[in-house]
């Protein structure tokens, strides 16, 4: 099949599955997976292969960079102990448990460890797409875990593949050195790439070129880490986190606005296409698996799925119990909402792209030229486990979340409206006379700006006090809503007027585009003034 035809099919499938998900309420990744499985039985599409290099270089850097740049570094710092342990100790425990189960079901230890390492890490894109039913804090912790555990898993995977293929003989000291290189080298590569990116921005003022620098950042970090045999995944994550902290100070507003639109669309399409391609692999994996191993593979899929969920739950409960036992502060903090929280976290350990890429990257031959043992079975089991965890766990997660009665997470909304915006507007009002004097602003203009800022501050204060039943606040919110609605209606009239002038050939199309761009900015500014209870969605970092 031609690449152009595949692109059209993937884009159309992403569109239709997303629309179906919004109508039915089902998670879109589940529908995308099912669609991919169905497409895999079409002869022309059955020939489509998903090279591991494409996942590791084309998909992962962009998706992980987006996840990293929108992840709260403050939450990571405040929960760094748990995140680091889940990204290391839990991965090792999961890889060992899967390897032990696979060995008990007939796999030699070498291929069993390859399978265990491939299945061990959770997937950041799957977690980001499927865990949105949870409060922000839980989503942040799950995303942070999945962003760092790939490095641990890929080191174990590399060691297992090398030993099984007979290309490496490693001691415990060698393995420790590989872990150190993976993490230290990945962090260094990510920081170095971010530093180069910001240096390049000093020479680039155009928004288009500035976003080219941003796009190059995750791919450069990945390649740089791979060159030194470090973790490319961790390098991308570090670059994204560093960009989220320094970007708001360095990146200009026009560059940031353009970049956010690009990343939103690009990662949406990449994420959807990736889930479809994962589904496409299942029919291929079944067809390439020898018939005598198919029953063994089905049993392994079921057993390994149960094992990874059980190990995750056991680890979370054991870690929480030990922490409460030895830390009075943690004991006070974890009394509410109780152990149900860990059940939710245990059910949110989705597998995805990294696991599939690792399985597909298993070499076809050993150092002696013999076929790599059980390679087709490893790919089949990994694909089956990914699909089963997504299809089975994703619909259950909202049910488990409701059962757990997780506390409402309104901290971000409070910080946004009642601290960040209010403080910023109040400080601007206080500094307005000095700034106006420094710029030589006409007093009439300064008074108009002051009136606008005072109106905005009053609206924010009314939003803060609205739940207290203050009549003045309610009236002010009503006036603010009318102000917004009137402004939007007039903007619609202005837009239709300009379009009519273009249709009557009184102005050129290029003039329409420029005027329309200005109207769009004004419309977005007005529309962003939401009433209490409106859903503001996930915030963006300064990319």
135 in Cβ contact with 119 (< 8 Å) = no
* pLDDT beyond 70 at 170: no
Residue 15 within a domain: no
Show the domain range for 498.
Answer: 412-527
Residue 468 within a domain: yes
259 in Cβ contact with 201 (< 8 Å) = no
Q: Which band of pLDDT confidence, cut at 50, 70 and 90, is reported for residue 474?
A: low
Same domain, yes or no: 352 and 436: no
Question: What's the pLDDT at 233?
Answer: 85
Same domain, yes or no: 126 and 263: yes
Same domain, yes or no: 360 and 238: yes
Question: What's the pLDDT at 505?
Answer: 87
The number of distinct structural domains making up the chain is: 2
Question: What's the pLDDT at 223?
Answer: 94
Q: What are phi and psi of 198, to 5 degrees?
A: -70, -35
Same domain, yes or no: 482 and 370: no
Q: Which residue, 157, 165, 114, 107, is CA-closest to 368?
A: 165
Same domain, yes or no: 369 and 456: no
Question: What's the pLDDT at 391?
Answer: 84
Q: Which band of pLDDT confidence, cut at 50, 70 and 90, is reported for residue 532?
A: very low
Task: Read off the pLDDT of residues 7-57 as tens digits, 9 standing for 90 and up.
Answer: 899 999 999 999 998 898 788 888 898 899 899 888 888 777 777 777 778
Residue 36 within a domain: no
Q: Which band of pLDDT confidence, cut at 50, 70 and 90, is reported for residue 541?
A: very low
Residue 436 within a domain: yes
Same domain, yes or no: 258 and 364: yes
Same domain, yes or no: 61 and 201: yes
Last residue of a domain, one of 391, 409, 427: 409
Last residue of a domain, one of 356, 375, 409: 409
Which one is predicted more confidently, 529 or 452? 452
Task: Read off the pLDDT of residues 108-130 as tens digits, 9 standing for 90 and up.
Answer: 999 999 999 999 998 877 787 77
Residue 399 within a domain: yes
Same domain, yes or no: 221 and 304: yes
Residue 405 within a domain: yes
Task: Read off the pLDDT of residues 67-119 as tens digits, 9 standing for 90 and up.
Answer: 888 887 887 887 788 888 888 899 999 999 999 999 999 899 999 999 999 99
Same domain, yes or no: 328 and 452: no
Q: Which residue, 155, 223, 145, 147, is CA-closest to 189?
A: 223
Mean local confidence (pLDDT), 368-382: 89
* pLDDT beyond 90 at 217: yes
Same domain, yes or no: 499 and 356: no
Last residue of a domain, one of 364, 393, 409: 409
End-to-end CA gap in the chain:
36
* Residue-by-residue DSSP string for 124-137: HHHHHHH-TTS-HH
Q: In Å, how far are 105, 379, 389 from 268, measured between CA atoms?
A: 39, 26, 21
Q: Which residue, 97, 88, 77, 99, is CA-closest to 121?
A: 88
Q: What is the DSSP letter of 477?
A: H
Task: Read off the pLDDT of residues 381-429 as tens digits, 9 standing for 90 and up.
Answer: 998 999 888 888 888 888 888 888 776 666 666 666 567 778 888 888 8
Same domain, yes or no: 378 and 427: no
Q: Which band of pLDDT confidence, cut at 50, 70 and 90, is reported for residue 533?
A: very low
Residue 372 within a domain: yes
Q: Which residue has the tokens 């035809």?
A: 5
Residue 461 within a domain: yes
161 in Cβ contact with 378 (< 8 Å) = no
Question: What's the pLDDT at 30?
Answer: 85
Same domain, yes or no: 392 and 505: no
CATH of the domain at 250: 1.20.1530.20
């Amino acid at each position: 099949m031609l690449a152009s035809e595949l692109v059209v099919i993937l884009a159309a499938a992403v569109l239709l599955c997303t629309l179906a998900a919004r109508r039915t309420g089902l998670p879109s990744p589940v529908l995308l997976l099912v669609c991919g499985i169905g497409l895999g039985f079409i002869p022309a599409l059955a020939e489509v292969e998903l090279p591991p290099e494409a996942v590791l270089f084309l998909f992962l850097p962009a998706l992980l960079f987006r996840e990293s740049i929108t992840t709260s570094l403050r939450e990571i710092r405040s929960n760094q102990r748990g995140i680091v342990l889940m990204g290391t100790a839990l991965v090792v425990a999961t890889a060992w448990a899967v390897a032990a189960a696979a060995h008990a079901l007939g796999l030699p230890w070498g291929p069993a460890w390859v399978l265990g390492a491939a299945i061990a890490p959770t997937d950041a894109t799957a977690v980001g797409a499927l865990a949105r039913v949870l409060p922000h804090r839980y989503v942040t912790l799950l995303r942070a875990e999945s962003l760092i555990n790939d490095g641990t898993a890929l080191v174990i995977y590399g060691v297992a593949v090398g030993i099984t293929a007979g290309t490496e003989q490693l001691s415990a000291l060698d393995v420790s050195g590989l872990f150190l290189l993976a993490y230290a080298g990945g962090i260094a590569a990510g920081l170095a790439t971010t530093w180069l990116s910001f240096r390049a921005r000093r020479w680039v003022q155009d928004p288009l070129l500035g976003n080219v620098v941003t796009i190059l950042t995750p791919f450069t970090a990945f390649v740089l880490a791979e060159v030194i045999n470090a973790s490319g995944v961790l390098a991308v994550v570090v670059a994204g986190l560093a960009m989220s902290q320094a970007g708001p100070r360095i990146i200009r507003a026009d560059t940031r606005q353009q970049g956010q639109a690009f990343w939103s669309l690009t990662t949406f399409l990449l994420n959807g296409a990736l889930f479809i391609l994962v589904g496409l692999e299942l029919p291929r994996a079944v067809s390439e698996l020898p018939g005598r191993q198919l029953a063994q593979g089905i049993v392994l899929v079921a057993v390994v799925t149960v094992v990874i969920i059980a190990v995750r739950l056991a680890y979370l409960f054991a870690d929480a119990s030990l922490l409460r036992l030895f830390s009075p502060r943690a004991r006070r903090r974890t009394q509410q909402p109780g152990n149900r929280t860990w059940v939710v976290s245990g059910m949110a350990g989705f597998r995805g792209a990294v696991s599939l890429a690792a399985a597909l990257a298993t070499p076809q031959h050993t150092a002696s030229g013999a076929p790599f043992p059980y390679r087709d079975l490893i790919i089949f089991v990994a694909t089956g486990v990914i699909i089963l965890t997504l299809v089975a766990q994703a619909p259950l997660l909202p049910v488990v979340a409701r059962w757990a009665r997780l506390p409402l997470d309104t901290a971000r909304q409070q910080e946004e409206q009642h601290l960040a915006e209010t403080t910023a507007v109040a400080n601007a009002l206080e500094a307005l006379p000095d700034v106006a004097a420094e710029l030589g602003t006409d007093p009439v203009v300064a008074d108009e700006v002051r009136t606008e800022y005072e109106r905005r501050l009053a609206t924010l204060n009314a939003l803060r006090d609205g739940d207290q039943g203050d009549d003045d606040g309610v009236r002010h919110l009503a006036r603010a809503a009318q102000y917004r609605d009137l402004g939007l209606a007039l903007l619609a009239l202005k837009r239709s007027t300009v379009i009519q002038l273009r249709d009557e050939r009184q102005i050129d199309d290029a003039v329409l585009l420029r005027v329309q761009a200005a109207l769009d900015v004004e419309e977005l500014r007005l529309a962003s003034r939401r009433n209490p209870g409106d859903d503001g969605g996930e915030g963006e970092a300064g990319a």
